[in-house]
Amino acid sequence: MQSAKKYAIIVAVVVALLIIAGLVVAGIFHVLLDVLYIALFLLALLMVTATLFQIYSILMLVRTITTVRDELKPLVSSVQETVGLVKETAQTAGHTVSTIGNTASFASELALRPSVRVVAAAVAGQQMVKVFFGKGHTRSRAEERRQQQLEAMQASAGGE
């Protein structure tokens, strides 16, 4: 990029020097008015050419926009169809979640709560039987865990 920039600057300076030298030579030979007419003719020709290129580029732009619009219509319809399918899927998923929630609530009320109550009553009855017919007191679970840990530590210390 830097080398291209250097070449462009060099070409611009050379062209500017050639134009200045041409104007000086035309001034010496008293044909400066003819050079002016030729320069104006060339500028007019360049202006017409630039206008034709602009018209061509506008026509190509219109053609491109038409092509894009024609290609975009099937894509938009496809996206709309996909959105419809996604909406249906989301509604189905919502119904499924609602059904699962109702089923879980129903199972909890009819099966789980009574089962938990029966098991709790059985465990409480078992503990009461232990208290009444056991050694006279019951140890808490924390005391049992401490006793198990103490036995495990003694076993590991004795094994070393």
Q: Is residue 86 part of a domain?
A: yes
Residue range 58-80: average pLDDT?
90
- With a pLDDT cut of 70, the percent of the chain lying above it is 94
Q: Is residue 150 part of a domain?
A: no
- With a pLDDT cut of 90, the percent of the chain lying above it is 35
Q: Is residue 17 part of a domain?
A: no
Is the pLDDT at 64 greater than 60, yes or no?
yes
Sole residue written with tokens 């029966």: 118
Residue 139, pLDDT score: 62
Q: CA 141, 145, 151, 155 torsion: positive or negative?
A: positive
Kindly report the backbone phi and psi dihedral angles of residue 150, in degrees, each rounded to the nearest multiple of 5, phi listed first. -65, -40
Q: Is residue 63 part of a domain?
A: yes
Report the distance separating Cα 59 and Cα 52, nearest Å: 11
Q: Is residue 5 part of a domain?
A: no
Domain hosting residue 79, numbered range: 31-116
Residue range 62-77: average pLDDT?
90
State how many domains the chain has: 1
Report the distance separating Cα 138 and Cα 131, nearest Å: 6
Q: Is residue 45 part of a domain?
A: yes
Report the distance separating Cα 113 and Cα 34, nearest Å: 111
pLDDT band at 18 (very low <50, low <70, confident <90, very high): very high
